[in-house]
Amino acid sequence: MTAQLIDGKLISAQIKQEAAVEAAKIKEAGVIPCLAVVLVGNDSASQVYVNNKKKACEVVGIRSVSYELDGGTTEEELLRLVAQLNADEAVHGILVQMPLPKQINEEKVILAIDAKKDVDCFHPMNVGLLHTGGKGFLPCTPAGIIELIKRSGHTIQGQNCVIIGRSNIVGKPVAMLLMQENGTVTICHSKTRNLAEVCRGADIIVSATGKVNTVTADMVKAGAVVIDVGMNRNEAGKLCGDVDFEHVKEIAGAITPVPGGVGPMTIAMLIKNCLVAAKMQNNLK
Protein backbone atom coordinates (compact mmCIF):
# COMPACT_ATOMS: atom_id res chain seq x y z
CA MET A 1 0.00 0.00 0.00
CA THR A 2 1.38 3.40 -0.99
CA ALA A 3 1.71 6.04 1.73
CA GLN A 4 -0.65 8.97 2.18
CA LEU A 5 0.93 12.00 0.50
CA ILE A 6 1.04 14.95 2.91
CA ASP A 7 0.36 17.96 0.69
CA GLY A 8 2.18 21.03 2.02
CA LYS A 9 0.74 23.27 -0.71
CA LEU A 10 -2.81 22.41 0.28
CA ILE A 11 -2.23 22.72 4.05
CA SER A 12 -0.29 25.99 3.69
CA ALA A 13 -3.16 27.40 1.58
CA GLN A 14 -5.59 26.54 4.42
CA ILE A 15 -3.34 28.33 6.94
CA LYS A 16 -3.10 31.38 4.67
CA GLN A 17 -6.90 31.49 4.35
CA GLU A 18 -7.20 31.45 8.16
CA ALA A 19 -4.50 34.15 8.32
CA ALA A 20 -6.42 36.36 5.85
CA VAL A 21 -9.47 36.25 8.16
CA GLU A 22 -7.23 37.11 11.14
CA ALA A 23 -5.52 39.96 9.22
CA ALA A 24 -8.93 41.45 8.36
CA LYS A 25 -9.89 41.44 12.08
CA ILE A 26 -6.62 43.16 13.02
CA LYS A 27 -7.28 45.82 10.36
CA GLU A 28 -10.79 46.37 11.77
CA ALA A 29 -9.07 47.25 15.06
CA GLY A 30 -7.15 49.97 13.18
CA VAL A 31 -3.82 48.16 12.78
CA ILE A 32 -2.26 47.24 9.41
CA PRO A 33 0.03 44.23 9.95
CA CYS A 34 3.42 44.92 8.37
CA LEU A 35 6.47 42.76 7.63
CA ALA A 36 9.84 44.29 6.72
CA VAL A 37 12.13 42.01 4.70
CA VAL A 38 15.82 42.84 4.33
CA LEU A 39 17.92 41.20 1.61
CA VAL A 40 21.67 41.84 1.40
CA GLY A 41 23.44 40.87 -1.84
CA ASN A 42 22.08 39.01 -4.87
CA ASP A 43 21.98 35.36 -3.80
CA SER A 44 19.46 33.89 -6.27
CA ALA A 45 17.88 31.40 -3.80
CA SER A 46 17.42 34.21 -1.25
CA GLN A 47 15.78 36.41 -3.91
CA VAL A 48 13.28 33.64 -4.70
CA TYR A 49 12.45 33.22 -0.98
CA VAL A 50 12.00 36.96 -0.51
CA ASN A 51 9.67 37.22 -3.53
CA ASN A 52 7.60 34.28 -2.27
CA LYS A 53 7.30 35.96 1.14
CA LYS A 54 6.13 39.21 -0.50
CA LYS A 55 3.52 37.34 -2.58
CA ALA A 56 2.21 35.49 0.49
CA CYS A 57 1.86 38.79 2.40
CA GLU A 58 -0.14 40.23 -0.49
CA VAL A 59 -2.50 37.23 -0.60
CA VAL A 60 -3.19 37.41 3.15
CA GLY A 61 -3.49 41.20 3.37
CA ILE A 62 -0.26 41.99 5.19
CA ARG A 63 1.70 45.05 4.11
CA SER A 64 5.26 44.12 3.17
CA VAL A 65 8.18 46.51 2.77
CA SER A 66 11.46 45.30 1.35
CA TYR A 67 14.98 46.63 1.58
CA GLU A 68 17.37 45.26 -1.02
CA LEU A 69 20.93 46.21 -0.14
CA ASP A 70 23.98 45.51 -2.26
CA GLY A 71 26.49 42.80 -1.35
CA GLY A 72 29.06 45.37 -0.20
CA THR A 73 26.82 46.69 2.61
CA THR A 74 28.73 47.01 5.88
CA GLU A 75 27.66 45.48 9.18
CA GLU A 76 27.23 48.99 10.60
CA GLU A 77 24.87 50.01 7.76
CA LEU A 78 22.73 46.90 8.23
CA LEU A 79 22.58 47.37 12.02
CA ARG A 80 21.52 50.99 11.47
CA LEU A 81 18.64 49.83 9.25
CA VAL A 82 17.59 47.20 11.82
CA ALA A 83 17.57 49.91 14.54
CA GLN A 84 15.32 52.08 12.32
CA LEU A 85 12.89 49.20 11.78
CA ASN A 86 12.90 48.37 15.51
CA ALA A 87 11.86 51.97 16.23
CA ASP A 88 9.16 52.08 13.53
CA GLU A 89 5.82 51.32 15.19
CA ALA A 90 4.20 50.65 11.81
CA VAL A 91 6.53 47.65 11.30
CA HIS A 92 5.54 44.54 13.31
CA GLY A 93 7.90 41.89 11.95
CA ILE A 94 11.51 42.12 10.78
CA LEU A 95 13.10 39.42 8.68
CA VAL A 96 16.74 39.64 7.61
CA GLN A 97 17.27 36.98 4.94
CA MET A 98 20.16 34.64 5.72
CA PRO A 99 22.87 33.87 4.69
CA LEU A 100 24.52 37.31 4.92
CA PRO A 101 27.76 38.31 3.14
CA LYS A 102 30.93 37.31 5.04
CA GLN A 103 31.72 40.85 6.24
CA ILE A 104 28.55 40.80 8.38
CA ASN A 105 28.29 38.85 11.64
CA GLU A 106 24.91 37.03 11.49
CA GLU A 107 24.76 36.57 15.26
CA LYS A 108 25.11 40.33 15.85
CA VAL A 109 22.27 41.01 13.42
CA ILE A 110 19.98 38.43 15.06
CA LEU A 111 20.70 39.96 18.49
CA ALA A 112 20.01 43.46 17.13
CA ILE A 113 16.45 42.64 16.00
CA ASP A 114 13.87 43.53 18.66
CA ALA A 115 12.73 40.15 20.08
CA LYS A 116 9.10 41.33 19.79
CA LYS A 117 9.60 41.72 16.00
CA ASP A 118 11.70 38.58 15.48
CA VAL A 119 9.21 36.65 13.32
CA ASP A 120 11.90 34.12 12.31
CA CYS A 121 12.22 33.15 16.00
CA PHE A 122 16.03 33.23 15.94
CA HIS A 123 16.60 35.70 18.81
CA PRO A 124 17.91 33.93 21.97
CA MET A 125 14.99 35.35 23.96
CA ASN A 126 12.46 33.67 21.66
CA VAL A 127 14.52 30.47 21.54
CA GLY A 128 14.48 30.52 25.36
CA LEU A 129 10.69 30.97 25.43
CA LEU A 130 10.35 28.00 23.08
CA HIS A 131 12.48 25.81 25.37
CA THR A 132 10.61 26.84 28.52
CA GLY A 133 7.16 26.57 26.92
CA GLY A 134 6.57 30.33 27.20
CA LYS A 135 4.34 32.39 24.95
CA GLY A 136 5.95 33.86 21.85
CA PHE A 137 6.78 33.10 18.25
CA LEU A 138 7.21 29.57 16.92
CA PRO A 139 10.11 28.86 14.56
CA CYS A 140 8.64 28.73 11.05
CA THR A 141 9.85 25.42 9.58
CA PRO A 142 9.47 23.38 12.82
CA ALA A 143 5.99 24.83 13.47
CA GLY A 144 5.09 23.99 9.85
CA ILE A 145 6.16 20.38 10.42
CA ILE A 146 3.84 20.08 13.45
CA GLU A 147 0.93 21.49 11.39
CA LEU A 148 1.64 19.03 8.54
CA ILE A 149 1.49 16.07 10.92
CA LYS A 150 -1.63 17.20 12.80
CA ARG A 151 -3.63 18.51 9.85
CA SER A 152 -3.05 15.32 7.86
CA GLY A 153 -4.77 13.39 10.66
CA HIS A 154 -1.84 12.01 12.67
CA THR A 155 -1.36 12.03 16.44
CA ILE A 156 1.93 13.04 18.05
CA GLN A 157 1.07 12.25 21.67
CA GLY A 158 2.78 9.07 22.88
CA GLN A 159 4.52 8.47 19.53
CA ASN A 160 8.22 7.66 19.17
CA CYS A 161 9.67 10.56 17.15
CA VAL A 162 13.14 10.38 15.59
CA ILE A 163 14.76 13.57 14.28
CA ILE A 164 17.84 13.29 12.08
CA GLY A 165 19.81 16.54 12.29
CA ARG A 166 20.49 18.85 15.24
CA SER A 167 20.58 22.32 13.68
CA ASN A 168 19.31 25.39 15.52
CA ILE A 169 16.90 26.08 12.65
CA VAL A 170 15.14 22.68 12.40
CA GLY A 171 16.48 19.78 14.48
CA LYS A 172 16.54 21.27 17.99
CA PRO A 173 13.36 23.41 17.77
CA VAL A 174 11.28 20.63 16.16
CA ALA A 175 12.35 18.37 19.06
CA MET A 176 10.97 20.96 21.51
CA LEU A 177 7.66 21.27 19.63
CA LEU A 178 7.22 17.48 19.38
CA MET A 179 7.84 17.22 23.13
CA GLN A 180 5.26 19.96 23.76
CA GLU A 181 2.83 17.74 21.83
CA ASN A 182 3.79 14.85 24.18
CA GLY A 183 5.88 12.93 21.66
CA THR A 184 8.87 10.87 22.87
CA VAL A 185 11.85 12.34 21.06
CA THR A 186 15.25 11.01 19.96
CA ILE A 187 17.65 13.35 18.16
CA CYS A 188 20.13 11.65 15.81
CA HIS A 189 23.09 13.17 13.95
CA SER A 190 26.26 12.31 12.04
CA LYS A 191 27.82 10.65 15.11
CA THR A 192 24.79 8.48 15.95
CA ARG A 193 25.54 4.76 16.00
CA ASN A 194 23.01 2.35 14.45
CA LEU A 195 20.93 5.12 12.84
CA ALA A 196 18.89 2.59 10.83
CA GLU A 197 18.03 0.66 13.98
CA VAL A 198 16.95 3.82 15.85
CA CYS A 199 14.77 4.89 12.91
CA ARG A 200 13.08 1.48 12.68
CA GLY A 201 11.59 2.11 16.13
CA ALA A 202 10.07 5.44 15.07
CA ASP A 203 6.39 6.24 14.53
CA ILE A 204 7.42 9.66 13.16
CA ILE A 205 10.71 10.42 11.35
CA VAL A 206 11.82 14.00 10.60
CA SER A 207 14.93 14.18 8.39
CA ALA A 208 16.79 17.50 8.12
CA THR A 209 20.35 16.66 7.06
CA GLY A 210 20.60 18.04 3.53
CA LYS A 211 21.94 14.71 2.28
CA VAL A 212 20.34 12.58 -0.46
CA ASN A 213 19.12 9.15 0.70
CA THR A 214 19.66 9.78 4.42
CA VAL A 215 16.48 7.73 4.95
CA THR A 216 16.09 4.53 2.93
CA ALA A 217 13.27 1.97 2.92
CA ASP A 218 15.08 -0.46 5.26
CA MET A 219 15.13 2.27 7.96
CA VAL A 220 11.36 2.81 8.07
CA LYS A 221 8.80 0.70 9.85
CA ALA A 222 5.48 -0.02 8.18
CA GLY A 223 2.98 2.81 8.70
CA ALA A 224 5.46 5.44 9.99
CA VAL A 225 4.98 9.14 9.22
CA VAL A 226 8.02 10.47 7.32
CA ILE A 227 8.68 14.22 7.11
CA ASP A 228 11.41 15.22 4.65
CA VAL A 229 12.91 18.66 5.33
CA GLY A 230 15.86 18.24 2.92
CA MET A 231 16.23 20.24 -0.26
CA ASN A 232 18.94 18.68 -2.42
CA ARG A 233 19.74 17.76 -6.00
CA ASN A 234 20.44 14.15 -6.96
CA GLU A 235 23.07 12.98 -9.46
CA ALA A 236 20.69 13.75 -12.33
CA GLY A 237 20.29 17.33 -11.03
CA LYS A 238 16.67 16.71 -10.01
CA LEU A 239 15.32 18.39 -6.87
CA CYS A 240 14.91 15.87 -4.06
CA GLY A 241 14.91 15.58 -0.28
CA ASP A 242 16.77 13.47 2.28
CA VAL A 243 14.41 10.52 1.85
CA ASP A 244 14.51 7.85 -0.86
CA PHE A 245 10.92 8.80 -1.73
CA GLU A 246 10.09 6.16 -4.36
CA HIS A 247 11.00 3.23 -2.09
CA VAL A 248 9.99 4.68 1.29
CA LYS A 249 6.47 5.61 0.10
CA GLU A 250 5.76 1.88 -0.34
CA ILE A 251 6.35 1.27 3.39
CA ALA A 252 5.49 4.50 5.23
CA GLY A 253 1.96 5.35 6.32
CA ALA A 254 2.39 8.99 5.27
CA ILE A 255 5.16 10.98 3.60
CA THR A 256 5.91 14.55 2.47
CA PRO A 257 7.06 15.11 -1.12
CA VAL A 258 9.97 17.36 -2.16
CA PRO A 259 9.12 19.89 -3.45
CA GLY A 260 5.60 20.62 -2.18
CA GLY A 261 5.89 19.27 1.37
CA VAL A 262 7.60 21.21 4.15
CA GLY A 263 8.74 24.14 1.92
CA PRO A 264 5.39 25.95 1.50
CA MET A 265 4.70 25.63 5.24
CA THR A 266 7.65 27.80 6.27
CA ILE A 267 6.19 30.91 4.64
CA ALA A 268 2.67 30.17 5.94
CA MET A 269 4.01 30.02 9.51
CA LEU A 270 6.02 33.22 8.99
CA ILE A 271 2.75 34.94 8.04
CA LYS A 272 1.14 33.62 11.25
CA ASN A 273 4.06 34.97 13.30
CA CYS A 274 3.67 38.38 11.69
CA LEU A 275 0.02 38.50 12.79
CA VAL A 276 0.97 37.36 16.30
CA ALA A 277 3.52 40.22 16.40
CA ALA A 278 0.96 42.83 15.24
CA LYS A 279 -1.49 41.67 17.93
CA MET A 280 1.13 41.53 20.72
CA GLN A 281 2.49 44.99 19.95
CA ASN A 282 -0.99 46.52 19.92
CA ASN A 283 -2.46 44.56 22.85
CA LEU A 284 -5.08 42.92 20.62
CA LYS A 285 -6.59 39.55 21.50
pLDDT (mean) for 53-74: 96
Q: Is 97 assigned a catalytic role?
A: yes
| Domain assignment present for 230 | yes
Q: Kindly state whether residues 110 and 153 are assigned to the same domain.
A: no
Do the domain assignments include residue 43?
Answer: yes
Q: In the prediction, which pLDDT does 43 show?
A: 84
Residues 99 and 162 in one domain: no
Residue 207 lies in a domain: yes
Lowest model confidence (mean pLDDT) among 3-7, 43-47, 142-146, 196-200: 43-47
Q: Which of the four pLDDT bands, split at 50, 70 and 90, describes residue 156?
A: very high
- What is the tens place of the pLDDT at every residue in 190-211? 999 999 999 999 999 999 999 9
Domain membership of residue 8 (yes or no) is no
Residues 253, 149 within the same domain: yes
The total number of structural domains that make up the chain: 2
The band of 46, judged by pLDDT with boundaries at 50, 70 and 90, is confident
| List 53, 117, 172, 249, catalytic entry | 53
Structure pTM? 0.95
Section 79-91 average pLDDT = 98
Active site residue 120: yes
pLDDT tens digits for 21-41?
999 999 999 999 999 999 999
Q: Which of 16, 97, 117, 242 is catalytic?
A: 97
CATH number for the domain harbouring residue 168: 3.40.50.720
Same domain, 145 and 103: no
Any domain includes 63: yes
DSSP symbols for the chain: -PPEE--HHHHHHHHHHHHHHHHHHHHHTT---EEEEEEES--HHHHHHHHHHHHHHHHHT-EEEEEEE-TT--HHHHHHHHHHHHH-TT--EEEEPSSPPTTS-HHHHHHHS-GGG-TT--SHHHHHHHHHT-SS---HHHHHHHHHHHHTT---TT-EEEEE---TTTHHHHHHHHHHTT-EEEEE-TT-SSHHHHHHT-SEEEE-S--TTSB-GGG--TT-EEEE---EE-TTS-EE-SB-HHHHTTT-SEE--SSSSSHHHHHHHHHHHHHHHHHHHTT--
For residue 125, the model assigns a pLDDT of 97
In this prediction, residue 135 has a pLDDT band, given cuts at 50, 70 and 90, of confident
Region 212-240: what's the mean pLDDT? 95
pLDDT tier at 250, thresholds 50, 70, 90: very high
State the residue range of the domain holding 219.
140-263
Q: 179 with 257, same domain?
A: yes
What is the chain's mean pLDDT, rounded? 96
Confidence bin at 234 (pLDDT 50/70/90)? confident
The reply to whether 131 falls in a domain is no
- Residue 44's pLDDT is 84
The enclosing domain of 57 has a CATH number of: 3.40.50.10860
279 in catalytic set: no
Of residues 116, 117, 120, 172, which has the active-site annotation?
A: 120
